[in-house]
Amino acid sequence: MRQMLIFNVKPPMELQLLYEAEFFVKNRNVEEVLPLQEQEYIRSSMGKIWETDRLVIINITSALDVGGRVPLPIKGRKEGVYIKVGSAVPFPDCLKEETDPDKLCDENLDPTSCEDYFSPHFILDWCKIVLFDKSKPEQPDTDVIPGDGVLEGGEYEPPSSSLEGRDLYSDYAVTIAVPLAIAVLLFLLLAYIMYCRREGLERRDTKTSDIQLVHHHSIQGNTNEL
């Protein structure tokens, strides 16, 4: 006799972490929360808030790895740690109130009741708490309207494969003629300055007095004798 057995395999509830919460602990370094005793304290404290023991620590990250500043070398200063926990149980009202935009980081409000479960062992920055609700489907930012995939403006017309001939003689003439004309003008200007603007020896001697000429010739004669 043959019998058919059907097995329905479902993932355990502990693995369906549809509700995740990330906290920032200000008075700890990352190596101080790695021991199992510290992690168990975090789970038990969070379990009192969440009212469940089905909690899993998903991630422990140093604040320096996410852009935090290096603390000053002062006693008691810590780098800070981000701790993310997850559960299959929805968020408690205490955590939902902390993420309320009207109450977030308001200095005039009294300390939250959630803080009593951590203080003074852990000091949490409730301004940096983040809740991730994965039970709700993600909504797209904008509604996508399906279309036929054809852009407006007509059909695409590629350029012709055969190129038309182009007369490059005028471009060549301009490229050669313009520098050549400038060179000729500069040559004429330099020739005018060198030959037409010189006064000459005779003109210079006529403008020079006889006393200066005698004095000059005497100096030149003495120099030649030496």
Going across the sheet that includes 81-87, the strands are: 55-62, 81-87, 19-25, 130-133
The burial class, CB within 10 Å (0-12 / 13-18 / 19+), for 28 is: buried
Three-class SS string for 53-91? CCEEEEEEEEHHHHCCCCCCCCCCCCCCEEEEEEECCCC
DSSP 91-123: PPHHHHHHT-TTTTT-TTSPPPGGGGGTTTT--
Dihedrals phi, psi of 59, to nearest 5 degrees: -155, 145
pLDDT in tens, 47-92: 888 888 888 889 999 988 888 888 777 777 888 999 999 888 888 8
More confident residue, 47 or 137: 47
pLDDT for position 106 = 59
In the numeric block, the tokens 């040559």 are attached to: 187
Entry pTM: 0.52
| Tens digit of each residue's pLDDT (9 = 90 or more) over 180-213 | 999 999 999 988 887 776 666 666 666 666 666 6
